[in-house]
């Protein structure tokens, strides 16, 4: 009688039971598949996985090797401009250099132009967080409370647009490509848009709302290392200005490695270049603005095609080949161990 009253409250009502409901889910009685592993299923799994990874890896490597690419290091070839840019007082002085090269064969299809940087560490934590995502969405925010410091305001209190170390260090060399055909020089038409991701262009970056961009950014100033304000990044296309400028968006997506390349331009397939770049003599005409000597960096310009698997990076193919080889080797090792143990078992049974 005493135990029975323990389950009753002071008002005489029964307390709720702590036992789970008598259902298949709460009583863990749901039907489940329990595979019965044997030597045949294990070995077939390893060999099939190895064959699949090896096949995919070989296809990826062959595809990457079929990419046509030419890479030119212009760090030393533009040494005079590099020395000029090392002095910050010369920021408003223009400096140009030219680099000649020859294509021995045609580069057919879509041709992409990249700029490459070496020994530039974008993966530093303080550098990566030095931005204001709210400002890049076109909102009126107090950037003093952001992580942009010390690139937030000037001494007179004028805020920077955009703020932060990432935006301030934006790559700003101008690279033009010319085709030398007999005695004439033809400028290769390049597309400035279409190099950024759709989500960046339409979701993550927006300009402040106003009747024009100059009034939208009124009361702000360009970052210290910039030569022009953000609303004049592309003076030929008003839709490619401000925070939605493709070059700016591509730069704001920081790299995980110290050596990287970013998409800069695409060859417009018109006239002589409808099928790509024909063989012949070419010239890169570079307006040198981005100094790299102080951090012992290098600069490259790359012309490349793409295939179904991407660019010329064979890393993914090598990773598949290594994984497939490891799975196949493991299968052979397990087979050898199984045969050895089976012989021993047969010997002891006799």
Give yes or no for residue 8 having a pLDDT over 60: no
Q: What is the phi/psi pair of residue 119, to 5°?
A: 70, 25
346 confidence band (pLDDT: 50, 70, 90)? low
pLDDT tops 70 at residue 237: yes
Evaluate whether 260 touches 192 at the Cβ level (below 8 Å). no
Question: In this structure, is residue 326 part of a structural domain?
Answer: no
Query: What does the pLDDT look like over 196-217, one tens digit per residue?
Result: 999 998 899 999 988 888 898 9
Q: Report the share of the chain in percent with pLDDT over 70.
A: 94
Confidence of residue 4 (pLDDT cuts 50, 70, 90): very low
**Could you give the number of structural domains in the chain?**
1
Residue 44 within any structural domain of the chain: no
Q: What is the pLDDT of residue 186?
A: 93
Owner of token pair 């489940």: 32
pLDDT digits (tens, 9 = 90+) for 288-300: 999 898 888 999 9
pLDDT given at position 45: 92
Residue 62 lies in a domain: no
Distance in angstroms (rounded) separating the CA atoms of residues 301 and 97: 13
Mean pLDDT of 56-85: 90
85 within domain boundaries: yes
Please, what is the angle between helix 315-349 and helix 39-65, to 10°?
160
Distances (CA, A) of 237 to 191, 248, 266, 294: 11, 14, 16, 34
Q: What is the pLDDT of residues 25-45, one digit of tens each?
A: 888 888 888 878 888 889 999
42 occurs within a structural domain: no
Least reliable range by pLDDT among 41-55, 257-271, 302-316 = 302-316
User: Which residues is 40 bridged to in the sheet?
Assistant: none
- CA 254, CA 244: separation in Å to the nearest integer? 16
Mind listing the pLDDT tens digit for each residue in 148-198?
Answer: 989 999 988 899 999 999 999 999 999 999 999 888 899 999 999 999 999
Confidence band, pLDDT 50/70/90 cuts, at residue 62: very high
Residues forming a β-bridge with 303 = 70, 113
C-alpha closest to that of 171 among 123, 120, 136? 120
Residue 126 has pLDDT above 50, yes or no: yes
207: nearest Cα among 251, 241, 246: 241
Domain hosting residue 169, numbered range: 68-305
> Are the C-beta atoms of residues 151 and 224 closer than 8 Å to each other?
yes
Residue 214 lies in a domain: yes
Residue 334 falls within a domain, yes or no?
no
Residue 101 belongs to some domain of the structure: yes
Q: How far apart are CA 250 and CA 115, in angstroms?
A: 11
């Amino acid at each position: 009688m005493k135990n029975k009253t323990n389950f009753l409250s002071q008002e005489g009502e029964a307390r709720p039971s702590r036992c789970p409901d008598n259902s298949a889910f709460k009583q863990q009685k749901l039907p489940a598949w329990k595979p019965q592993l044997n030597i045949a299923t294990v070995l077939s799994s390893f060999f099939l996985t190895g064959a699949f990874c090896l096949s995919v890896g070989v296809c990826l490597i062959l595809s990457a090797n079929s990419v046509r690419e030419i890479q030119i290091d212009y760090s030393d070839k533009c040494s005079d401009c590099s020395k000029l840019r090392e002095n910050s007082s010369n920021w408003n002085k223009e400096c140009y250099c030219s680099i000649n090269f020859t294509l021995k064969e045609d580069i057919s299809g879509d041709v992409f132009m990249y700029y490459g940087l070496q020994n530039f560490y974008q993966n530093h934590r303080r550098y990566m967080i030095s931005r204001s995502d709210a400002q890049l969405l076109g909102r009126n925010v107090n950037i003093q409370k952001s992580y942009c410091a010390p690139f937030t305001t000037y001494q007179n209190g004028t805020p920077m647009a955009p703020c932060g170390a990432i935006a301030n260090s934006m790559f700003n060399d101008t690279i033009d490509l010319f085709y030398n055909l007999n005695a004439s020089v033809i400028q290769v038409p390049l597309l400035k848009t279409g190099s950024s991701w759709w989500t960046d262009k339409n979701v993550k970056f927006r300009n402040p709302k106003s009747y024009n961009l100059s009034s939208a950014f009124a009361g702000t100033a360009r970052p210290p290392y910039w030569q022009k304000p953000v609303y004049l990044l592309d003076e030929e296309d008003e839709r490619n200005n401000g925070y939605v400028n493709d070059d700016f968006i591509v730069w704001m997506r920081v790299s995980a490695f110290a050596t990287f390349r970013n998409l800069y331009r695409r060859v417009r397939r018109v006239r002589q270049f409808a099928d790509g770049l024909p063989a012949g003599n070419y010239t890169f005409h570079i307006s040198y603005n981005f100094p790299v000597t102080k951090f012992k960096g290098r600069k490259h310009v790359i012309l490349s095609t793409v295939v179904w698997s991407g660019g010329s990076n064979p890393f993914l193919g090598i990773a598949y080949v290594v994984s497939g080889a490891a799975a196949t080797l493991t299968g052979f090792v397990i087979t050898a161990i199984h045969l050895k143990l089976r012989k021993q078992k047969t010997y002891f049974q006799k």
